């Protein structure tokens, strides 16, 4: 029998994170959002709760959980705010996970404890001003200097999350390190510690949404790092990252599901309070049907990421199902944000309202960690088309 019920431990964690989001994040996030400031106090509390260490073993200070538990937490955080959820998702799946999956023992000893505890953050530099979904278009180069046993990096990265906070400790950079026998670019990933000479972090972007998360453009001008800062095997950078990205799509699907469910939460509450023509608007069938459709989208998005996570943890192929989950949940988030704004009327158009923030946050979920078009391409190819 298929059983999607959570264990007592999972339910307890979900409840504690839900309370944390409502009591600690909700009262302060609007100000951070308006001022485009990073919520250091919230991140510090999340670290003390062990959220950054959820899928990592106790050896590194983690909670010895799994990726599904992380997804449950992301959903609950995003029901209140996506900036905080995105910070956690990127810190774990893009920051710490590559080191955990592919790092040498020395690299793991040096970097993982602080990342797993939430005391430090890391970014992953894949996207460039001229290369996003087409990773083969990467132009950042890393040349190995044999005489000094160093990598010399030149290039630029764009839209890199968690790359410029006061607690950012490193960025892992995807770079061209040579040319293969078939003439294709050899892509590798290299660890660049924050503060390395020649490594410049541009001012934060002015974004439509996720305004309390940290996102920057990065520049590398003859940046030199030790040869043993190569992460994983040389020439395997893209293959390694694609695996990380498949996992990350499940996490983004969970985040999107949380936003979709948050739209339901806010709309149900508002419909019971707002009166029009002598009745609460929740008594009108048009509003009832609109909210019922919102709940349908959130529910099916949840089932999709539950299924993808289960396949991943079983060790079976989950690439298509991760793409399906991310595609559907991203659409659900965007559709629910639009509907919630409609339910709230003029109030939903105000930036200080939760659904106003949800509306602004939703669009990136159809773009980040693989656009909706890329997800459709993955599914079509996996079907043999």
DSSP state of 227: G
Q: How far apart are CA 371 and CA 105, in angstroms?
A: 34
Q: How far apart are CA 151 and CA 129, in angstroms?
A: 22
Q: How far apart are CA 138 and CA 177, in angstroms?
A: 11
Give the three-state DSSP class for 79. coil
Q: How far apart are CA 315 and CA 374, in angstroms?
A: 23
Bridge partners (DSSP) of residue 125 are 173
- Alpha helical stretches, state H, 82-129: 82-89, 97-102, 105-117
Q: How far apart are CA 83 and CA 344, in angstroms?
A: 22
Give the contacts of 57 (CB within 8 A, at least 6 positions apart).
64
Q: How far apart are CA 320 and CA 378, in angstroms?
A: 6
* Residue count of the chain: 385
- In the chain, the largest separation of any two C-alpha atoms, in whole Å, equals 82
369 is catalytic: yes
Q: How far apart are CA 322 and CA 378, in angstroms?
A: 10
Q: What are phi and psi of 201, to 5 degrees?
A: -105, 115
Q: How far apart are CA 335 and CA 330, in angstroms?
A: 9
Closest of 260, 362, 249 to residue 307, by C-alpha:
249
The catalytic position among 75, 128, 217, 369 is: 369
* Residue 162: both structure tokens together: 């968690």
Evaluate whether 282 touches 288 at the Cβ level (below 8 Å).
Answer: yes
Q: How far apart are CA 86 and CA 43, in angstroms?
A: 11
Residues marked as catalytic: 369
């Amino acid at each position: 029998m298929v059983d999607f019920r959570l264990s007592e431990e999972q339910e307890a964690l979900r409840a504690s994170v839900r309370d944390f989001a409502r009591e600690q994040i909700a009262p302060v996030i609007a100000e951070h959002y308006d001022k485009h400031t990073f919520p250091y106090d919230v991140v510090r509390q999340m670290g003390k709760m062990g959220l950054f260490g959820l899928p990592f073993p106790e050896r590194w200070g983690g909670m010895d959980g799994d990726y599904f538990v992380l997804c449950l937490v992301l959903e609950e955080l995003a029901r209140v705010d996506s900036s905080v959820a995105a910070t956690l998702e990127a810190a774990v799946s893009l920051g710490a996970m590559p080191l955990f999956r592919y790092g040498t023992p020395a690299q793991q000893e040096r970097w993982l404890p602080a990342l797993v505890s939430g005391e430090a953050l890391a970014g992953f530099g894949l996207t460039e001003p001229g290369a996003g979904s087409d990773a083969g278009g990467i132009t950042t180069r890393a040349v190995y200097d044999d005489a000094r046993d160093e990598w010399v990096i030149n290039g630029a990265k764009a839209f890199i999350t968690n790359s410029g906070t006061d607690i950012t400790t490193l960025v892992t950079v995807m770079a061209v390190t040579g040319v293969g026998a078939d003439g294709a670019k050899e892509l590798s990933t290299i660890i660049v510690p924050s503060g390395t000479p020649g490594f410049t972090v541009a001012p934060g972007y002015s974004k439509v949404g996720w305004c309390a998360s940290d996102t920057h453009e990065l520049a590398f001008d003859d940046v030199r790092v030790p040869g043993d800062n190569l992460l994983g095997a040389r020439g395997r950078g893209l293959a390694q990252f694609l695996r990380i990205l498949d996992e990350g799509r499940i996490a983004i699907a969970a985040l999107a599901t949380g936003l979709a469910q948050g739209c339901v939460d806010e709309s149900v509450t508002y419909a019971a309070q707002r009166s029009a023509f002598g009745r609460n608007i929740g008594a009108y069938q048009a509003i009832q049907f609109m909210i019922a459709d919102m709940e349908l989208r959130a529910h099916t998005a949840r089932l999709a990421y539950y299924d993808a996570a289960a396949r991943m943890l079983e060790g079976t192929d989950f690439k298509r199902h991760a793409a399906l989950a991310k595609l559907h949940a991203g659409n659900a988030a965007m559709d629910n944000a639009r509907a919630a704004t409609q339910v709230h009327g003029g109030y939903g158009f105000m930036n200080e309202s939760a659904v106003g923030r949800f509306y602004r946050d939703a669009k990136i979920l159809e773009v980040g960690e693989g656009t909706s078009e890329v997800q459709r391409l993955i599914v079509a190819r996996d079907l043999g088309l």
